[in-house]
Amino acid sequence: MPSVPTGCNEELFEAARLSSDSGAIARDFQRYLTQHLGRFIGCVPLYQYEALALTIRDRVMTDWRNTWRRYDEPGVRRAYYLSLEFLIGRSLGNHILNLGLDHETAEAMHRLALNLEEIMSEEVDAGLGNGGLGRLAACFMDSCACLQLPVIGYGIRYQYGMFRQEIENGFQVEEPDHWLRDGNPWELERPEFKNLIRFGGRVEGVTDSQGKRRSAWVDTTDVLAIPYDVPISGHKNHTVNTLRLWSASATSDFNLDDFNAGSYAEALEAKTNAEHITMVLYPNDVSENGKELRLKQQYFLASASLQDVLRMWELSAGRDYRDFKAQNVFHLNDTHPTIAVAELMRLLMDEKGLDWGQAWDITSHCMAYTNHTLLPEALEKWPVALFESLLPRLLQIIFEINARFLRLVAMKWPGQTQRQRRMSIIEEGDTKQVRMAYLAIVGSFSVNGVAALHSRLLSGGLFRDFYELWPEKFNNKTNGVTPRRWVAYANPGMSALITEKIGPDWVHDYAKIAAIAKHAEDAGFKQRWHEVKQANKQRLADMVRHYCQVEFDTEALFDVQVKRIHEYKRQLLNVLHAIHLYDRIKRGDIGHWTRRCILIGGKAAPGYRMAKNIIKLINNVAEVVNNDPQVNGLLKLAFIPNYGVSKMEVICPGTDLSEQISTAGKEASGTGNMKFMMNGAITIGTYDGANIEIMEAVGEGNYFLFGLHAEEVDRERASYDPARLIGQDEDLGRVMHLLRCGHFSTFESNIFDEVIGSLENPRDPWLTLADFRSYIDAQEQVSRAYQKRERWVAMSISNTACSGYFSTDRTISEYNKGIWKLQTRPLDQPSR
Ligand code: F85
């Protein structure tokens, strides 16, 4: 027998790997189905999915353990991505692709007379996020594994993810998303690494055994954090990184005294209360008004994750924290986990015995913060009183951080008390509040925005004072999306065509996609590109028929806007265009008409009235347009319910025109725009967020630009006069008339008053009507361009060819080079 290896013995691991030919996959699948799940081959497809998921999961296990070990080697610097959201979607197909087992698995299922695609569609989306921010975290995890970077994701295992959206009579109705009901084969519970999280209580000064004065946080109410690990496989590189999600659990199952006294329900109360913490994801993506449970979630994540990292640190370094900052970096995904700044201070001082200076030196060298919004109402603030009762020790620490910080400000700008008040982490006023963004900036060595314009607007506007104090902290990292999920997996037809022309390397080295540009004028290639797009449009049309009962004709232009519903994203502008086209049809103005199918999708925050009204309006306009015989297929409009990750996997490959029409200066980056571009859609967009970089990459000739620029928006505001615009523009006048006269609200009088009021409001923050004319004109350009098919296809190819920059592999390389400074940890020979 060989001796037990101490280091990383590649041969041993190689031997432990399961064989992955189709025969082995089919055998394991059948064994799981019959021996483990107790079902047979003709069972309901859910169990087929489960058996296949377990079969594939077995094939990542060895690499997973191997990767952990490699990252655990002494001296390996690691990053921890702290995020309240990871919008992962489905996993099975993604792992199959990354392991390079697509053919083998399809073949194995075929042998058993089963269909792989049908089985994969049984998986429920892991919807642990709201929108772009959560999906970005998931794309980042994919790229970190692909680049073999030692990064661990830390998040929350919500029992209920993003709500399921149903549409009833045109209105959004929210249904709970109990995604774990049938179990989750992709998670591994690790109760051995649980942590205790404390809330409430009070702070006492005590003298420790060394005679030092310290703070003790006592009389707390405690909750356990149990980690569940989710594997994140790299692309054909034997790397499997970890996403560690925390679940709350009571410290004891129930109170025995109550139980014995016969109060069974009361005995369970503590347990239920504890478990509420990770029960549900907050479905808001812009403002969250100081909900206690949300702050509990944030602290729960931060504390559990930091304790986990310190535990691992002490395993190798003991209680010596001198090298900690050289080997660890925490990344804060927006302000949501920012309480980690204060919590790391607390742990290092109160639990590990460091003094303030040592603890601050570590903390402020280990934290990095990414901002995802410019909307002031989206910046998190917590009432001081809430902090005081929930996290008294952390509030003390924040006050001390602030006091020291304000001394620094006073030193830099003596006498500028206004500036000190502006910059204070504590906002004064009737209810004092903790400004989390300021805590994040003060506590971090790096602060970045998510697109070039956004980062400029941060340092020149929202965070200007801080930029003047610490210009070296501020930087930009333009977002991206992972080409594995969003091209290779979502668009197999296009991927096969690309690989045929330029080889398969583009999947892991996405800059190589540029090589298809030289085929943009090759007639044969263009014809095949077109055929692939048509097939993808058919797949999308089938989905639209299924969910919306609306027929989309694939010869028409597919015009799509999918994203969270928000006034700043201006779904309303899109609707105004749809109404304008309808009005033209009704007037017989249909010379050189381009048929259009407009698809809109997205969720509204349950408490956001205006967003919900917008959904209702879209549905009502759709009802009128789709049922008017005179429209006769010249125009279709559909609202796709319950938009999410797996819907987007069908939508973006089948789209011709990508709508990115936010008010300039409001969309931090956008990432849907990148998914569409990669899949050969052409963008109609404002000069906002990453749209600007998309346009620069593809060239103005391959992009439809319209609307005011960010600086113009601010100037326009002073003189914005919607009534004048309506009076001057006949098209707009007719559109507004159709809205006002109730053409889209028969028997529902006045339901759109609020929407109309917002459009006509001179103080409309989103200046929707200011961009109407320029939008309509740009849409007319689109319609004309779509009629020149050859040219359109060339534009489509150019968009894909120029999308190399928008891979999260590039984004993550920049995070690593500029902020994290990790070394790649290649495992054994990649099998690419
Ligand atoms: C999005 N933000 C930006 N926020 O809007 C996009 O422009 C950008 O491309 C992506 O981030 C990625 O950078 C976003 O998705 C949220 O989901 C969000 C969630 C919760 C909250 C705020 C924003 C609360 C907690 C403050 C309500």
Per-residue pLDDT tens over the stretch 255-271: 777 777 888 777 778 77
Q: Residue 267 corresponds to which amino acid?
A: A
Closest ligand 1 atom, residue 130 Cα: 17
Residue nearest to atom 19 of ligand 1 (CA): 285
| Cα of 373 from ligand 1 centre, angstroms | 7
The helix (H) or strand (E) run that includes residue 498 is: helix 492-502
Q: How far apart are CA 656 and CA 786, in angstroms?
A: 9
Residues paired with residue 636 on neighbouring β-strands, in sequence order: 597
Ligand 1 contact, 133 CB (< 6 A): yes
| Cα of 82 from ligand 1 centre, angstroms | 14
| Cα of 409 from ligand 1 centre, angstroms | 30
Residues paired with residue 167 on neighbouring β-strands, in sequence order: 172
Tokens of 510: 């996405």
The residues assigned a catalytic role are 372, 563-564, 569, 671, 675
How does DSSP classify residue 819? I
Question: Tokens 């004891």 belong to which residue?
Answer: 252
Pocket test for ligand 1, best of 84, 140, 297, 373 (most atoms within 8 A of CB): 373
Ligand 1 contact, 340 CB (< 6 A): no
Nearest to 96 by CA among 108, 87, 86, 85: 108
Gyration radius of the chain over CA positions: 28
Q: Which residues contact 355 (CB under 8 A, 6 or more apart)?
A: 349
Pocket test for ligand 1, best of 291, 296, 334 (most atoms within 8 A of CB): 334
| Cα of 451 from ligand 1 centre, angstroms | 14
493-513: burial string, b at 16+ Cβ within 10 Å, e else: bbbebbeeebebebbbebebb
Ligand 1 contact, 231 CB (< 6 A): no
Q: How far apart are CA 569 and CA 566, in angstroms?
A: 5
Ligand 1 contact, 708 CB (< 6 A): no
Q: DSSP labels for 657-676?
A: EEEE-PPTTT-S--SHHHHH
| Cα of 129 from ligand 1 centre, angstroms | 9
Residue nearest to atom 6 of ligand 1 (CA): 670
The helix (H) or strand (E) run that includes residue 474 is: strand 474-476
Quick one: pLDDT at residue 241?
Answer: 98
Q: How far apart are CA 714 and CA 163, in angstroms?
A: 36
Nearest to 205 by CA among 197, 218, 193, 214: 214
Phi–psi pair at 561, nearest 5 degrees: -130, 110
CB 276 within 8 A of CB 170: no
Q: Which residues contact 767 (CB under 8 A, 6 or more apart)?
A: 663, 708, 713, 716, 717, 720
Quick one: pLDDT at residue 825?
Answer: 80
Phi–psi pair at 451, nearest 5 degrees: -160, 160
Closest ligand 1 atom, residue 668 Cα: 7
Q: Name the class of domain 497-710+768-806.
A: alpha beta
How does DSSP classify residue 687? S
Q: From the options 3.30.1490.20, 3.20.19.10, 3.40.50.2000, 3.40.50.261, give the CATH code of 74-89+125-164+173-379.
A: 3.40.50.2000
| Total Cβ atoms within 10 A of residue 255 | 17
In 3-state terms, what secondary structure has residue 720?
Answer: coil
Low-confidence ranges of the chain (pLDDT < 70): 1-15, 828-832
| Cα of 287 from ligand 1 centre, angstroms | 10
CB 779 within 8 A of CB 574: no
Closest ligand 1 atom, residue 454 Cα: 7
Ligand 1 contact, 285 CB (< 6 A): yes
CB 548 within 8 A of CB 639: yes
Residue nearest to atom 18 of ligand 1 (CA): 285
Q: Where are the alpha helices (DSSP H) in 628-771?
A: 645-651, 672-678, 691-698, 710-719, 722-728, 730-740, 753-760
Ligand 1 contact, 130 CB (< 6 A): yes
Phi–psi pair at 242, nearest 5 degrees: -125, 135
Q: What angle do CA 580, 581, 586 make, to 5 degrees?
A: 95
Tokens of 652: 């973006």
CB 828 within 8 A of CB 238: yes
Q: Where in the chain is the domain with CATH 3.40.50.2000?
A: 74-89+125-164+173-379, 497-710+768-806
Q: Residue 362 corresponds to which amino acid?
A: I
